[in-house]
Chains A and B, each alone.
Chain A
């Protein structure tokens, strides 16, 4: 199903993505975390390509890296002194939360290995998916699609209303 080349790509992507994830979760420097996030997004986009999901991969690149990533960088640069490493020090809650994380890992790992995943006998050929996704969006998923557009409009207005500075009212005397 997958050629050795694809196996190699999978291994490389796994390395990138997991290293980036660790850096986000554990790095004490906010800027490192932000750039590691970039690596994680690119890695996941690579997985999408590997899985033959061309449309989702391109959307991932456009929206995450072109939009969300830039937003995060702006927020990081606006809200903190970059040199101040102690800003993001880890907290005392480590002891309490470590068991929680371990339980989560064990639960999800057990889930993966004990479930007999149903896999289609013949994996479909890798083909352009845009037309199929467009059809699904405008037939079966029309309501969620419209709701998403309303949500985006609300977000647009809400974000501007939240983040702008107060408007000065000039009184005419």
Chain B
């Protein structure tokens, strides 16, 4: 029998995988993809709660999360394209201009 905690476990799995991607990966595009994964995980728990509480509000929240994710992806990818045009690379390891030069070495 599939119950609420099962959905929450999948939701947590998605969130943690996204989190791992955000900290481990060094490619800005993959970092953004991982953020999408985290948002999807949270959305899943919203909708699961909505179902098991018999309340529509969770689905409304999920709807707003999707809207925000779309805006975030559009702006984020535009910024990535700009960085690529200027630097020829989207590796986070090369974007260290704000780092203190003494410690950068």
Contacts and interface: CB of A to CB of B under 8 A. Distances in A.
Main DSSP-derived SS at the B contact region: helix
A51 B47 contact: yes
B20 A25 contact: yes
Main DSSP-derived SS at the A contact region: helix
Contact of A88 (B10, B27, B81): B27
A56 B8 contact: no
B27 A113 contact: no
B42 to A, nearest CB: 11
Interface in B47-99: 47-48, 50-54, 56-57, 59-60, 62-64, 66-71, 73-75, 77-82, 84, 90-91, 93
B15 A72 contact: no
B1 A24 contact: no
Contacts of A78: 81, 84
Interface residues of B, number: 68
Contacts of B30: 24, 30, 33, 88
A129 B82 contact: no
Given A136-B57, A141-B60, A108 B81 contact: no
Nearest to A14: B10
Contacts of B62: 53, 56
Given A30-B29, A94-B24, A162-B78, A148 B67 contact: yes
B23 A79 contact: no
A44 B74 CA distance: 21
A79 B29 contact: yes
8 contacts: A7-B2, A72-B77, A75-B80, A79-B90, A88-B27, A97-B24, A156-B74, A163-B78
Interface of A: 1-2, 6-7, 10, 14, 17-18, 21-22, 24-26, 30, 33-34, 37, 40-41, 44, 47-48, 51-53, 55-56, 59-60, 63-64, 67-68, 71-72, 74-76, 78-80, 87-91, 93-94, 97, 100-101, 104-105, 108-109, 112-113, 117-120, 122-124, 129, 132-133, 136-137, 140-141, 144, 148, 151-152, 155-156, 158-159, 162-163
